[in-house]
Protein backbone atom coordinates (compact mmCIF):
# COMPACT_ATOMS: atom_id res chain seq x y z
CA UNK A 1 0.00 0.00 0.00
CA UNK A 2 1.45 3.36 -1.04
CA UNK A 3 1.90 6.07 1.57
CA UNK A 4 2.15 9.82 1.44
CA UNK A 5 3.95 12.11 3.84
CA UNK A 6 1.69 14.28 5.94
CA UNK A 7 3.89 17.23 5.02
CA UNK A 8 2.91 16.65 1.38
CA UNK A 9 -0.84 17.05 2.10
CA UNK A 10 -2.80 20.28 2.41
CA UNK A 11 -3.78 19.39 5.99
CA UNK A 12 -5.40 22.76 6.75
CA UNK A 13 -7.86 22.55 3.86
CA UNK A 14 -11.07 21.27 5.47
CA UNK A 15 -13.38 21.87 2.54
CA UNK A 16 -14.64 18.30 2.80
CA UNK A 17 -14.33 17.77 6.55
CA UNK A 18 -17.63 16.93 8.26
CA UNK A 19 -16.11 15.42 11.42
CA UNK A 20 -16.33 17.19 14.79
CA UNK A 21 -14.38 16.97 16.95
CA UNK A 22 -11.41 15.47 15.15
CA UNK A 23 -10.01 14.02 18.37
CA UNK A 24 -11.20 10.42 18.84
CA UNK A 25 -9.64 8.54 21.72
CA UNK A 26 -10.82 5.09 20.57
CA UNK A 27 -9.40 5.67 17.11
CA UNK A 28 -6.19 7.02 18.65
CA UNK A 29 -5.76 3.82 20.65
CA UNK A 30 -6.41 1.71 17.56
CA UNK A 31 -3.93 3.64 15.42
CA UNK A 32 -1.34 3.45 18.21
CA UNK A 33 -1.68 -0.34 18.24
CA UNK A 34 -2.27 -1.22 14.59
CA UNK A 35 -1.39 1.88 12.58
CA UNK A 36 -3.66 3.48 9.98
CA UNK A 37 -5.23 0.54 8.15
CA UNK A 38 -7.80 2.33 5.98
CA UNK A 39 -6.31 4.68 3.36
CA UNK A 40 -7.27 8.33 3.42
CA UNK A 41 -8.95 9.67 0.28
CA UNK A 42 -7.24 12.53 -1.56
CA UNK A 43 -8.08 14.80 -4.48
CA UNK A 44 -5.29 15.25 -6.99
CA UNK A 45 -3.78 18.70 -6.61
CA UNK A 46 -0.25 20.12 -6.59
CA UNK A 47 -0.80 19.87 -2.86
CA UNK A 48 -3.35 17.01 -2.39
CA UNK A 49 -6.55 17.82 -0.48
CA UNK A 50 -8.15 15.40 1.98
CA UNK A 51 -11.65 14.12 1.22
CA UNK A 52 -11.94 11.27 3.71
CA UNK A 53 -9.84 10.37 6.74
CA UNK A 54 -9.58 13.59 8.76
CA UNK A 55 -9.84 11.73 12.07
CA UNK A 56 -7.22 9.20 10.97
CA UNK A 57 -4.93 12.05 9.99
CA UNK A 58 -5.43 13.75 13.38
CA UNK A 59 -4.68 10.51 15.24
CA UNK A 60 -1.53 10.01 13.17
CA UNK A 61 -0.36 13.55 13.85
CA UNK A 62 -0.91 13.15 17.60
CA UNK A 63 1.12 9.94 17.55
CA UNK A 64 3.96 11.41 15.47
CA UNK A 65 3.27 9.21 12.43
CA UNK A 66 4.69 10.97 9.39
CA UNK A 67 3.12 9.07 6.47
CA UNK A 68 -0.29 7.55 5.73
CA UNK A 69 -1.70 5.08 3.23
CA UNK A 70 -3.80 6.86 0.62
CA UNK A 71 -5.86 6.56 -2.53
CA UNK A 72 -6.50 9.27 -5.11
CA UNK A 73 -10.16 9.95 -5.89
CA UNK A 74 -10.68 11.00 -9.51
CA UNK A 75 -13.88 12.97 -8.90
CA UNK A 76 -15.07 16.56 -8.94
CA UNK A 77 -15.45 18.71 -5.85
CA UNK A 78 -19.22 18.33 -5.49
CA UNK A 79 -18.92 14.56 -5.76
CA UNK A 80 -16.02 14.71 -3.30
CA UNK A 81 -18.26 16.40 -0.74
CA UNK A 82 -20.96 13.76 -1.19
CA UNK A 83 -18.26 11.08 -0.85
CA UNK A 84 -17.09 12.64 2.43
CA UNK A 85 -20.65 12.81 3.76
CA UNK A 86 -21.55 9.24 2.86
CA UNK A 87 -18.20 7.94 4.11
CA UNK A 88 -18.98 9.39 7.54
CA UNK A 89 -22.51 7.98 7.54
CA UNK A 90 -20.98 4.61 8.35
CA UNK A 91 -21.02 5.81 11.97
CA UNK A 92 -23.58 7.82 13.99
CA UNK A 93 -23.08 11.54 13.33
CA UNK A 94 -23.53 14.07 16.10
CA UNK A 95 -25.58 17.25 15.64
CA UNK A 96 -22.63 19.45 14.66
CA UNK A 97 -21.46 16.92 12.07
CA UNK A 98 -24.95 16.83 10.56
CA UNK A 99 -24.88 20.62 10.53
CA UNK A 100 -21.54 20.56 8.69
CA UNK A 101 -23.00 18.26 6.02
CA UNK A 102 -25.93 20.59 5.39
CA UNK A 103 -23.93 23.83 5.50
CA UNK A 104 -21.22 22.56 3.15
CA UNK A 105 -23.81 21.35 0.64
CA UNK A 106 -25.48 24.77 0.65
CA UNK A 107 -22.12 26.50 0.26
CA UNK A 108 -21.27 24.21 -2.66
CA UNK A 109 -24.45 25.22 -4.47
CA UNK A 110 -26.43 22.01 -4.18
CA UNK A 111 -30.15 22.30 -4.95
CA UNK A 112 -32.37 22.59 -1.89
CA UNK A 113 -34.06 19.33 -2.92
CA UNK A 114 -30.70 17.54 -2.74
CA UNK A 115 -29.98 19.07 0.67
CA UNK A 116 -33.41 17.97 1.91
CA UNK A 117 -32.72 14.45 0.70
CA UNK A 118 -29.51 14.29 2.71
CA UNK A 119 -31.27 15.81 5.73
CA UNK A 120 -33.83 13.00 5.57
CA UNK A 121 -31.04 10.44 5.34
CA UNK A 122 -29.46 12.02 8.42
CA UNK A 123 -32.74 11.68 10.32
CA UNK A 124 -33.55 15.40 10.19
CA UNK A 125 -36.91 16.86 9.15
CA UNK A 126 -36.32 18.81 5.91
CA UNK A 127 -37.75 22.06 7.24
CA UNK A 128 -36.51 25.61 6.76
CA UNK A 129 -36.05 26.28 10.50
CA UNK A 130 -33.96 23.11 10.92
CA UNK A 131 -31.85 24.06 7.91
CA UNK A 132 -31.21 27.53 9.38
CA UNK A 133 -30.35 26.01 12.75
CA UNK A 134 -27.84 23.73 11.02
CA UNK A 135 -26.12 26.69 9.37
CA UNK A 136 -25.96 28.49 12.73
CA UNK A 137 -24.43 25.43 14.41
CA UNK A 138 -21.89 24.96 11.62
CA UNK A 139 -20.67 28.56 11.97
CA UNK A 140 -20.86 28.64 15.77
CA UNK A 141 -17.94 29.29 18.07
CA UNK A 142 -16.16 26.17 19.38
CA UNK A 143 -17.62 26.73 22.85
CA UNK A 144 -21.13 26.30 21.45
CA UNK A 145 -20.18 23.39 19.19
CA UNK A 146 -18.58 21.50 22.08
CA UNK A 147 -21.64 22.12 24.27
CA UNK A 148 -24.01 20.90 21.55
CA UNK A 149 -22.01 17.70 21.07
CA UNK A 150 -21.48 17.03 24.78
CA UNK A 151 -25.18 17.36 25.59
CA UNK A 152 -26.40 15.79 22.33
CA UNK A 153 -28.70 18.71 21.62
CA UNK A 154 -31.09 18.22 18.69
CA UNK A 155 -31.20 20.94 16.04
CA UNK A 156 -34.66 22.00 17.22
CA UNK A 157 -33.05 22.96 20.55
CA UNK A 158 -30.01 24.47 18.82
CA UNK A 159 -32.47 26.78 17.06
CA UNK A 160 -33.65 28.07 20.44
CA UNK A 161 -30.09 28.46 21.72
CA UNK A 162 -29.16 30.62 18.73
CA UNK A 163 -32.19 32.85 19.28
CA UNK A 164 -29.97 34.58 21.86
CA UNK A 165 -27.14 37.03 21.19
CA UNK A 166 -23.55 35.65 21.31
CA UNK A 167 -22.84 37.16 24.74
CA UNK A 168 -26.07 35.74 26.16
CA UNK A 169 -25.32 32.39 24.56
CA UNK A 170 -21.94 32.35 26.29
CA UNK A 171 -23.59 32.98 29.67
CA UNK A 172 -26.21 30.30 29.06
CA UNK A 173 -23.56 27.73 28.16
CA UNK A 174 -21.49 28.74 31.18
CA UNK A 175 -24.44 28.30 33.54
CA UNK A 176 -25.63 25.04 32.00
CA UNK A 177 -22.11 23.68 31.87
CA UNK A 178 -21.71 24.16 35.62
CA UNK A 179 -24.65 21.86 36.44
CA UNK A 180 -26.10 18.60 35.17
CA UNK A 181 -28.67 19.40 32.48
CA UNK A 182 -30.81 17.02 30.47
CA UNK A 183 -32.28 17.91 27.09
CA UNK A 184 -35.68 18.52 28.68
CA UNK A 185 -34.33 20.67 31.54
CA UNK A 186 -32.20 22.70 29.12
CA UNK A 187 -35.20 23.23 26.84
CA UNK A 188 -37.27 24.53 29.76
CA UNK A 189 -34.38 26.77 30.83
CA UNK A 190 -34.14 28.30 27.35
CA UNK A 191 -37.88 28.84 27.08
CA UNK A 192 -37.99 30.64 30.42
CA UNK A 193 -35.00 32.79 29.42
CA UNK A 194 -36.64 33.67 26.12
CA UNK A 195 -39.78 34.76 27.95
CA UNK A 196 -37.74 36.75 30.46
CA UNK A 197 -35.86 38.57 27.70
CA UNK A 198 -39.10 39.39 25.88
CA UNK A 199 -40.60 40.73 29.11
CA UNK A 200 -37.60 42.69 30.38
CA UNK A 201 -35.40 43.16 27.34
CA UNK A 202 -32.42 41.56 29.06
CA UNK A 203 -31.44 38.73 31.40
CA UNK A 204 -29.54 39.38 34.62
CA UNK A 205 -27.36 36.28 34.68
CA UNK A 206 -25.87 37.32 38.03
CA UNK A 207 -29.12 36.25 39.69
CA UNK A 208 -28.53 32.72 38.41
CA UNK A 209 -24.93 32.37 39.56
CA UNK A 210 -24.38 29.88 42.34
CA UNK A 211 -27.25 27.59 41.33
CA UNK A 212 -26.41 24.05 42.38
CA UNK A 213 -28.46 22.24 39.76
CA UNK A 214 -30.73 22.74 36.76
CA UNK A 215 -33.83 22.78 38.93
CA UNK A 216 -32.44 25.67 40.96
CA UNK A 217 -31.89 27.63 37.75
CA UNK A 218 -35.44 26.80 36.64
CA UNK A 219 -36.91 27.96 39.94
CA UNK A 220 -34.94 31.21 39.86
CA UNK A 221 -36.07 31.94 36.31
CA UNK A 222 -39.66 31.06 37.06
CA UNK A 223 -39.71 33.46 40.00
CA UNK A 224 -38.90 36.20 37.52
CA UNK A 225 -41.21 35.10 34.69
CA UNK A 226 -44.14 33.71 36.73
CA UNK A 227 -43.84 35.09 40.28
CA UNK A 228 -47.37 34.07 41.39
CA UNK A 229 -47.11 30.57 39.95
CA UNK A 230 -43.66 30.17 41.44
CA UNK A 231 -45.03 31.15 44.86
CA UNK A 232 -47.78 28.51 44.55
CA UNK A 233 -45.21 25.86 43.59
CA UNK A 234 -43.10 26.67 46.64
CA UNK A 235 -46.11 26.49 48.94
CA UNK A 236 -47.16 23.16 47.44
CA UNK A 237 -43.64 21.78 47.83
CA UNK A 238 -43.68 22.87 51.48
CA UNK A 239 -47.03 21.14 52.12
CA UNK A 240 -45.91 17.89 50.52
CA UNK A 241 -42.59 17.98 52.34
CA UNK A 242 -44.32 18.45 55.69
CA UNK A 243 -46.74 15.59 54.87
CA UNK A 244 -43.77 13.22 54.47
CA UNK A 245 -45.53 11.09 51.87
CA UNK A 246 -43.95 7.69 51.33
CA UNK A 247 -42.48 7.13 47.84
CA UNK A 248 -45.36 4.91 46.74
CA UNK A 249 -47.96 7.69 47.24
CA UNK A 250 -47.92 10.51 44.69
CA UNK A 251 -49.95 13.71 44.80
CA UNK A 252 -49.94 15.73 41.58
CA UNK A 253 -51.42 19.15 40.87
CA UNK A 254 -52.03 20.77 37.52
CA UNK A 255 -48.83 22.72 36.68
CA UNK A 256 -50.90 25.88 36.17
CA UNK A 257 -52.93 25.30 39.37
CA UNK A 258 -56.14 25.67 37.36
CA UNK A 259 -57.80 22.25 37.30
CA UNK A 260 -60.58 21.55 39.76
CA UNK A 261 -59.05 18.24 40.75
CA UNK A 262 -55.78 16.83 41.99
CA UNK A 263 -54.38 13.40 41.18
CA UNK A 264 -53.51 10.93 43.94
CA UNK A 265 -51.87 7.67 42.95
CA UNK A 266 -50.40 4.83 44.94
CA UNK A 267 -48.32 1.80 44.11
CA UNK A 268 -48.77 -1.36 46.15
CA UNK A 269 -47.50 -4.91 46.05
CA UNK A 270 -50.18 -6.39 48.26
CA UNK A 271 -53.42 -5.55 50.08
CA UNK A 272 -51.61 -4.63 53.32
CA UNK A 273 -49.73 -1.84 51.55
CA UNK A 274 -53.02 -0.53 50.16
CA UNK A 275 -54.57 -0.49 53.65
CA UNK A 276 -51.56 1.38 55.05
CA UNK A 277 -51.65 3.92 52.22
CA UNK A 278 -55.36 4.57 52.74
CA UNK A 279 -54.81 5.08 56.48
CA UNK A 280 -52.00 7.53 55.70
CA UNK A 281 -54.23 9.46 53.31
CA UNK A 282 -57.04 9.50 55.88
CA UNK A 283 -54.70 10.97 58.51
CA UNK A 284 -53.47 13.60 56.09
CA UNK A 285 -57.04 14.49 55.20
CA UNK A 286 -57.83 14.97 58.86
CA UNK A 287 -54.77 17.18 59.22
CA UNK A 288 -56.05 19.40 56.41
CA UNK A 289 -53.39 18.62 53.77
CA UNK A 290 -55.78 18.31 50.86
CA UNK A 291 -57.86 21.27 51.98
CA UNK A 292 -54.68 23.36 51.91
CA UNK A 293 -53.78 22.06 48.45
CA UNK A 294 -57.23 22.95 47.09
CA UNK A 295 -56.85 26.40 48.60
CA UNK A 296 -53.73 26.79 46.46
CA UNK A 297 -55.47 25.68 43.28
CA UNK A 298 -58.67 27.70 43.59
CA UNK A 299 -58.63 29.42 46.92
CA UNK A 300 -61.60 27.30 48.04
CA UNK A 301 -61.23 24.85 50.93
CA UNK A 302 -64.45 22.91 50.27
CA UNK A 303 -63.27 20.60 47.45
CA UNK A 304 -62.12 17.64 49.58
Ordered DSSP codes for 41-69: EEE-SSS-EEEE-HHHHHHHHHHT--EEE
Domain presence at residue 241: yes
Q: Which of 225, 241, 274 is at the close of a domain?
A: 225
Beta-strand ranges (E) seen in 44-149 are 49-52, 67-72
| Predicted pLDDT at 299 | 59
Q: Are residues 190 and 240 in the same domain?
A: no
Domain presence at residue 188: yes
Check if the beta carbon of residue 56 is closer than 8 Å to that of residue 19: no
Q: Are residues 250 and 276 in the same domain?
A: yes
Q: What is the mean pLDDT of each run of 10 residues along the chain (304 residues)?
A: 92 95 96 96 93 97 96 96 96 97 97 96 95 96 96 96 96 94 95 94 92 91 84 84 87 81 88 88 89 77 41
Kindly report the length of the chain: 304
The pTM of the full predicted model, rounded to 2 decimals, is 0.79
Domain presence at residue 132: no
Domain presence at residue 260: yes
For residue 196, the enclosing domain spans: 163-225
Domain presence at residue 48: no
User: What is the number of domains present in the chain?
Assistant: 2
Q: Are residues 286 and 268 in the same domain?
A: yes
Q: Measured in Å, how far apart are the chain's first and last C-alpha atoms?
A: 81
Q: Are residues 234 and 198 in the same domain?
A: no
Domain presence at residue 36: no
Q: Are residues 233 and 286 in the same domain?
A: yes
CA angle 267, 269, 274 (to 5 degrees): 65
Query: Order of strands, edge to edge, in the sheet holding 40-43?
Result: 3-5, 67-72, 40-43, 49-52
Query: Rounded distance, CA 20 to CA 96, Å?
Result: 7
What is the sign, positive or negative, of the torsion defined by CA atoms of 181, 185, 188, 189?
negative
Q: Are residues 216 and 231 in the same domain?
A: no
| Predicted pLDDT at 301 | 44
Query: Rounded distance, CA 94 to CA 89, Å?
Result: 11
Q: Are residues 193 and 236 in the same domain?
A: no
Q: Are residues 231 and 184 in the same domain?
A: no
Q: Are residues 199 and 209 in the same domain?
A: yes
Q: Are residues 237 and 293 in the same domain?
A: yes
Q: Which of 199, 225, 251 is at the close of a domain?
A: 225
Phi, psi of 161 (to 5 degrees): -60, -40
Check if the beta carbon of residue 53 is closer than 8 Å to that of residue 31: no
Domain presence at residue 29: no
| Predicted pLDDT at 86 | 96
Q: Are residues 238 and 219 in the same domain?
A: no
Query: Rounded distance, CA 249 to CA 267, Å?
Result: 7
Domain presence at residue 234: yes
Interacting residues of 239 by C-beta distance below 8 A, sequence separation 6+: 289, 292, 293, 296
Q: Are residues 213 and 232 in the same domain?
A: no
Amino acid sequence: METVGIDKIHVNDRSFCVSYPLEDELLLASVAKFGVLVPIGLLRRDYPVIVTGFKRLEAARRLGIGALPYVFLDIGERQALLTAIHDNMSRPLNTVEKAFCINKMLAAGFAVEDVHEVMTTLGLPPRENILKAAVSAAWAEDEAKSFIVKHQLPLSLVEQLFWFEPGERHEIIRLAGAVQVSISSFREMLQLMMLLKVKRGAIDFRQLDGAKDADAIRRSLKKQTHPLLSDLEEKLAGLLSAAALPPHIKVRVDPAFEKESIDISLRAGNSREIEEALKKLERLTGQGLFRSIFELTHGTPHRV
